[in-house]
Amino acid sequence: MLLTIEDYIKAGKIAAEVREYARKQYYVGHTLLEICESLESMIRAKGGEPAFPCNLSLNEIAAHYTAEPDDITEVKDGDILKIDIGVHVNGCIADTAVTVCYNADYSLLVEACEHALREALKVAKVGVRASDIGRVIENTVKSYGLKPIQNLSGHSIQQYTIHAGKSIPNIWTIGSFTLQENEVYAIEPFVTTADGDGIVYNGDISNIFSIVTRKRVGNKEVDEFLEALWNRFKTLPFALRWIVKDLNFEINHARSMLEVLIKKKIVRAYPILVEGNNKFVAQAEHTIIAKSGGSIIITQ
């Protein structure tokens, strides 16, 4: 067993509880800022820490949107909302997601996505190739007459590292790796409509960031800002609203220093990911610890 198995299990339990709470809520009329702060506060109250800013991605935005510090975007009747939650306990991360649907025309997207995840979890164990998990996801989604998002994937997870270098595709691919004993993986199908592109592209908004290197830029104020970011977030992703609230930086000043660090490739910005034909997207996700007899689904 992993030396940190208890921390992964605890993180997974917290993530599952918060996800299921979110699944049952009626968020129409609520702002994305209210939802983010509510779910992140719940994570902390349960004894975990957010492993990344809560992702709240509406409709054709597949992933990577989190609320701005003054975000007034509201969930509307007719929307579908992806809620992607990360929890860490001592750096041991559980990653899970659910799509809540306020539009009956897209309920099949959610059903197909959840079904594809269940089928993928049945085969995900030590020795299975990631490409074969992708094949199961692809076949399940296509059986509904829908499309998987082919350039989004699940991923390996390591302590304090949410994307640890290995990808679990949502389609069958040539070339792959086999799941290894006690490694941690997130499996996350993304599904769009039959007339969708099936590919996501970078949007023009980036409001999630992470530190790539601690190299100094030679500007005392910016270097001190970077050190404050490192002391608070280490290698984990963070949001501008966290900088403002937790580190007490003024919004525009923080933005300007982030821009310097991004330009110098010291901080990475994660753009929102938008479906190529602007069609709606659903997501479902669990985190597993790979085992030979059947993996442990820590976010079950």
Segment 190-249, tens digit of pLDDT:
999 999 999 999 999 999 999 999 999 999 999 999 999 999 999 999 999 999 999 999
Average pLDDT taken over every residue of the chain: 96
pLDDT in tens, 136-186: 999 999 999 999 999 999 999 999 999 999 999 999 998 889 999 999 999
Query: pLDDT at residue 293 above 90?
Result: no
pTM attached to this predicted model: 0.96
Token output for 110: 């959610």
Catalytically active residues are 84, 95, 155, 163, 188, 285
pLDDT average, residue stretch 270-299 = 97
* 168 touches 134 (CB < 8 A): yes
pLDDT in tens, 55-104: 999 999 999 999 999 999 999 999 999 999 999 999 999 999 999 999 99
Report how far residue 129's alpha carbon sits from residue 144's, in angstroms, rounded to the nearest whole number: 24
Q: Between β-strands 80-89 and 167-169, what pairing exists: parallel, antiparallel or unpaired? A: unpaired
Token output for 213: 């290197």
Report how far residue 98's alpha carbon sits from residue 211's, in angstroms, rounded to the nearest whole number: 27
Query: To which residue do tokens 């921390």 refer?
Result: 7
- Burial class (CB within 10 angstroms; exposed 0-12, middle 13-18, buried 19+) of 123: middle
